[in-house]
Chains A and B, each alone.
Chain A
Amino acid sequence: MNQAWPLPAPSRRTRRVDRGLLIGSVLVGAIVLLALLAPWISPHDPLAQVLTDRLKPPAWLPGGSPTYLLGTDATGRDLLSRIIWGGRTSLEIGILSVALGALIGVGAGLLAGYRGGWLDLIIGRLADIQQAIPFLILALAVIAVAGSSILNLVLVLGAGSWLYYFRVTRGEVLAVRERPYIEAARAAGVGEWRILSRHVLPNIAGSIVVIVTLQIPQVILFTAGLTFLGLGVPPPTPEWGRLIYDGRDYLQTAWWLTVEPALVVVVFVLGVNFVGDGLRDRLDPVRSRSGR
């Protein structure tokens, strides 16, 4: 009976450093930096095959050599270099498609939420319709016909994710629209576009930044799924999903081919999630006031 009360005290004012946000930023920062610096820091050409050095284990295992820190794949390509360059491809796809999706979704959400009426109805139903279709199949069908390239992937993934941003933006705009400062701006004769861009958008930017962050790893994982079904980034371009996929034929003999890139993805996804959660807790004024 006399156990410690497990609920957080509601009015704690001290603010601890959010461990998650800190750890997450370091992890994500390191990976992004590696990808950005790929041309200068990757020890080998990610596409160069050295057939005499096939399936070398990582340096710390028996048979490994310091030349190939993380080992080599079935055609003697350096895994570390491929992971570093793969990060470039994966991040490119992730960031570009999320940017495209956010652009469409936030724009549609601003319009639908602020204008309301039939525009809201039509866009909302469009989102409902898209939400009822398993996106993977639509993406597969489109890419099967249009061909798999990084550009096509970005377009398909971007078009597929707009509704997430749309729903959040619309909801936030509805909540913000009737606030006194918006009414004041309207009464002062400020134009609609200016109200949206100067007064509404900054107020909802926080929530959008959070979804954008959380969506990037989703897109990267989704691309990996497409690769598995045969329609991801075409070889030999290194991409995280492709590396993991190529490695799984050697799961029993050369586990590092799968495990190492998979670990990098795990670390990245984990880091992004910590950053996203941390940002959310920090940007949410209601929650940060009570110190959580």
Chain B
Amino acid sequence: MAWFLTRRLLASAVVLLGVSFIVFALVFLASDPVRALLPLDAPQSAVDSLRIQLGFGQPLPVQFAGFLGRAIQGDFGTSTNTLEPALGLVLARVPATLALGLSGVLVSLLISVPLGIAAALRPGSWIDLTARSVAVLGQAIPGFVLGEVLILVFAVTLRILPVSGAGDPSHLLLPAIVVGLGSAAGLTRILRSSLLDVLGADYIRTARAKGLTPRRVVLGHALRNGLIPFVTFLAFDLAAILSGVIVVEVVFSYPGMGQLVVQAVANRDLPVIQAFTFVAALVIVSVNLLLDLVYGLIDPRIRLA
């Protein structure tokens, strides 16, 4: 177990190092990063002095090492927009985004687990087809449309939920539904197909033969084994879910990281984009690590692998 953890931690560190290189390289997307940081009418002397001040004259590896050194200390520079430290700006938004992301995943699980089971029990039937259609419907409607329709219905017409913002759980409900519906289709499909694989296995026949109730067979035997591809897919999908969260945050004016970073892109506020990308990668890598440990709980055979 310790060896497994060490290896996974090392791999995560390598990934984060790679991410920080990409984050660092983002600077060079703009043709001249120094010009991009300054107002359009800045004099050449100001450009030159900032260039030296920011260290762009040095060779690339030195620049990257310097960037990495500062990044590890949490210094991504200051936002070119508000002049506050970029990392602080991003970190202040993390709890809100995490709350939305997690409730979105919860909604997604509440939809996909029952639908996936129902579809797998009668493959090819109308139940199967309906379950899959319902799941796909949620995914097929672009998040921003669904969001605005929900706002129109529940906030503007019925007035039972707030239009936008954050604070109490009622603010979270509509955005979470939009995020959850977006990823429910993929999860339903994976659960259906992995359950179908499992349901044909010998130990299911044995369980049936010894007279267990259908509920015990499905929930106790099949689901537990069918969950492994499901969790893998969930982990794989995290970055995509985060992308969905970003759009949803903009729709609902929800004060999370996504809203911040979309503004940063519009303003070409590079330090904030960099800090966001790094924090997002850190979250994704940590959750993946956590899920790796969860595998051990679902399937004892994986513990030693």
In the complex, chain A residues 212-245 whose Cβ is within 8 Å of any chain B Cβ: 217, 221-222, 224-225, 228-230, 241, 244-245
Residue B89 interfacial (CB < 8 Å):
no
Name the B residues within 8 Å of A228 (CB-CB): 142, 144, 247, 250-251
Interface size on A, residues (CB 8 A): 58
Chain A residues lying within 8 Å of B280, measured Cβ to Cβ, are: 132-134, 137
Closest to A21 in B: B124
Q: Please tell me if the beta carbons of B145 and A258 are within 8 angstroms of each other in the complex.
A: yes
Contact across chains for A277 and B189 when beta carbons are under 8 A apart: yes
**Residues 263-288 of A contacting B (Cβ, < 8 Å):** 265-266, 268-270, 273-274, 277, 280-281, 286-287
Chain B residues positioned under 8 Å from A19 (CB to CB)? 124, 126, 129
Q: Does A198 contact B (CB under 8 A)?
A: no
Q: Which residue of A lies closest to B251 (CB)?
A: A228
Of chain B, the residue at the smallest CB distance from A290 is B200
- Give the residue among A3, A16, A266 with the most B Cβ atoms within 10 A: A266
Whether B121 lies near A6 (C-beta < 8 A) is: yes
Instruction: Determine if B19 and A132 form an interchain contact, defined as CB atoms under 8 angstroms apart.
Output: yes
**Whole-angstrom CA separation of A265 from B141 in the bound complex:** 7
Given contacts A217-B140, A269-B136, A132 and B15 within 8 Å (CB-CB): yes
- Per-position 1/0 for B197-208, Cβ under 8 A of A: 101100011001
For A230, give the chain B residue with the smallest CB separation: B266
Query: Does the CB pair A144–B239 fall under 8 Å?
Result: no
Known A-B contacts A20-B132, A229-B250, A270-B136; A132 and B284 likewise in contact (beta carbons under 8 Å)? yes
Contact stretch, chosen from A41-49, A122-130, A189-197: A122-130
Any chain B CB within 8 A of the CB of A251?
Answer: yes
Is B142 a contact partner of A224 (Cβ separation < 8 A)? yes
**A245 touching B129, Cβ below 8 Å:** no
Residues of B within 8 A of A266 (CB): 137, 140-141
CB neighbours of B29 from chain A (8 A): 141-142, 145-146
Report chain A residues within 8 Å CB of B133: 270
Scoring A19, A133, A137, A290 by chain B CB atoms within 10 A of each residue's CB, the highest score goes to A137
Q: Does B65 contact A (CB under 8 A)?
A: no
CA of A58 to CA of B189, assembled, Å: 36
Given contacts A10-B205, A133-B239, A145-B29, contact A262 B141 (CB under 8 A): yes
Tell me whether B80 is interfacial, beta carbon within 8 Å: no
Contact yes or no, B15 A137, CB < 8 A: no
**How far does the alpha carbon of A169 sit from the alpha carbon of B209 in the complex, in Å?**
38
Asked whether A67 is an interface residue with its Cβ less than 8 Å from the other chain, the reply is no
- For residue A146, which residue of chain B has the nearest CB? B29
B140 touching A287, Cβ below 8 Å? no
CB-based contact B262/A140 at 8 Å: yes
CA distance A268 to B196 in the complex (A): 26
CB distance from A105 to the nearest CB of B (A): 14
Given contacts A129-B22, A244-B145, contact A7 B140 (CB under 8 A): no
In the complex, chain B residues whose CB is within 8 Å of the CB of A118: none
The residue from B14, B247, B281 contacting A136, defined by CB atoms under 8 A apart: B247
With a CB–CB cut-off of 8 A, which chain A residues contact B49? none
- Which A residues touch B196, using CB under 8 A? 287, 292
Instruction: Give every chain A residue within 8 A of B136 (Cβ-Cβ).
Output: 269-270, 273
A131 at the interface (CB under 8 A from B): yes
The yes or no answer to A181 lying at the interface (CB within 8 A) is: no
Please give the distance in Å from A168's CB to the nearest CB on chain B: 11
List CB contacts (< 8 Å) of B235-275 with chain A. Answer: 236, 239-240, 242-243, 246-247, 250-251, 261-262, 265-266, 268, 273
Q: Which of A7, A125, A144 has the most CB of B within 10 A?
A: A7
**A131, A224, A229, A268: most-surrounded residue (chain B CB, <10 A):** A131
| Residues of chain B contacted by A145 (CB below 8 angstroms) | 29-30
Q: Is the CB of A262 within 8 A of B121?
A: no
B30 contact set on A, CB distance < 8 A: 145
- Closest residue of chain A to B201, judged by CB? A10
Cβ of A229 and Cβ of B18 under 8 Å apart? Answer: no
Please report the C-alpha to C-alpha distance between residue A258 and residue B128 in the assembled complex, in whole angstroms.
29
- Give A273 to B137 CA distance when docked, in angstroms: 10
In the assembly, what is the distance between CA of A52 and CA of B247, in Å? Answer: 35
B128, B145, B217 interface centre (most CB from chain A within 10 Å): B145
Which chain A residues lie closer than 8 Å to B128 at the CB level? Answer: 20
Which residues of B lie under 8 Å from residue A252 when comparing CB positions? 152
Judged by a CB distance under 8 angstroms, whether A60 is at the interface is: no
Cβ of A8 within 8 Å of any chain B Cβ, yes or no, is yes
Give the most central of B126, B144, B251: most A CB within 10 Å.
B144
Provided the pairs A132-B281, A133-B280 are in contact, do residues A244 and B18 lie with their beta carbons within 8 angstroms?
A: no
**A146 CA to B26 CA, complexed, in Å:** 12
Q: State which of A128, A135, A280 has its C-beta within 8 Å of the C-beta of B243.
A: A135
> Within 8 Å of chain A (Cβ to Cβ): is B122?
yes
Within 8 A of B (CB), among A155-198: none
In the assembled complex, the CB of B245 is this many whole angstroms from the nearest CB of chain A, namely 9
Is B123 in the interface zone, CB < 8 Å from A?
yes
Q: How far is the CA of A222 from the CA of B240 in the complex (A)?
A: 10
Min CB–CB distance B5 → chain A (angstroms): 17
Contact with B along A11-54 (1 / 0, CB 8 A): 00000101110000000000000000000000000000000000
A225 touches B143 (CB 8 A): yes
For this complex, 21 residue pairs linking A to B, each with C-beta atoms less than 8 Å apart, are: A6-B214, A7-B217, A7-B218, A10-B204, A18-B124, A125-B14, A126-B18, A129-B18, A132-B288, A133-B277, A133-B280, A137-B243, A137-B276, A137-B277, A138-B277, A140-B262, A251-B148, A252-B152, A262-B141, A266-B141, A287-B196
